[in-house]
Amino acid sequence: MSEKNNYTLSEKEKALAGLPYLSNTEELVNDRLKTREMLYEFNNSKPVRRDTVEYREGREKMIRQLFGSAGKDVEIEPPFYCDYGYNIHVGDNFYCNFNCTILDGNKVEIGDRVMFGPNVSLYPATHPLQPEERSKGPESALPIKIGNDVWIGGGAIICPGITIGDGVTVGAGSVVTKNVPSYVVVAGNPAKIIRHLEKKGED
């Protein structure tokens, strides 16, 4: 048997593969602790204008250290919460209002020109529905992907494994449980399409 076939996935690798994993390993516990230390610093940082060196060397630098990748002109209003940070990837011109939570046990990809209202929550994390299995401790996480030019209204919840297309508006307080195609408005619990939008060319 080859060395490759003998390889056992770490719990971190299982999580990124969407497989059941245990989150109480030393590696993942230490990763979450490091993230919480960074978030404590970020959430208690002094507010300054975005067009200053102080902002670039302060909050913006912290965001880039926290996230797996971040594009140009990224702004997040504290407080912000996540599990690991390094699984979060945001594009250019991302704005996130107060009190966002991203449980990034798996990858979260956010496109360009995306806006989050306050209290938006992204939940890649999930647990077994059967209580006997759930009590044993395994959990899993499914990736979330959000396209370009998306506006997610305040208090919306994006559930595990969801893909949201380009040009989408998610109404405030919505719970998104199914994939959303491009250029629609969705709202409600569970979120449903309430309007189709026409993609307009640039002037």
CA atoms within 13 A on the CB side of 191: 28
No. of H helices and E strands in the chain?
6, 19
In the block, residue with structure tokens 């806006």: 115
List 14, 127, 145, 192, catalytic entry: 127
Q: What's the token pair of residue 111?
A: 């496109």
Determine the Cα–Cα distance for residues 146 and 162; give it in Å rounded to an integer. Answer: 8
Determine the Cα–Cα distance for residues 155 and 172; give it in Å rounded to an integer. Answer: 6
Determine the Cα–Cα distance for residues 176 and 178; give it in Å rounded to an integer. Answer: 6
* 127 included as an active-site residue: yes
Determine the Cα–Cα distance for residues 176 and 164; give it in Å rounded to an integer. Answer: 9
Determine the Cα–Cα distance for residues 144 and 102; give it in Å rounded to an integer. Answer: 10
* Closest listed residue to residue 110, CA positions, set 95, 97, 125: 95
With a CB cutoff of 8 Å and minimum separation 6, the contacts of 11 are: 21, 22, 23, 25, 27, 28
Catalytic residues, by residue number, are 127
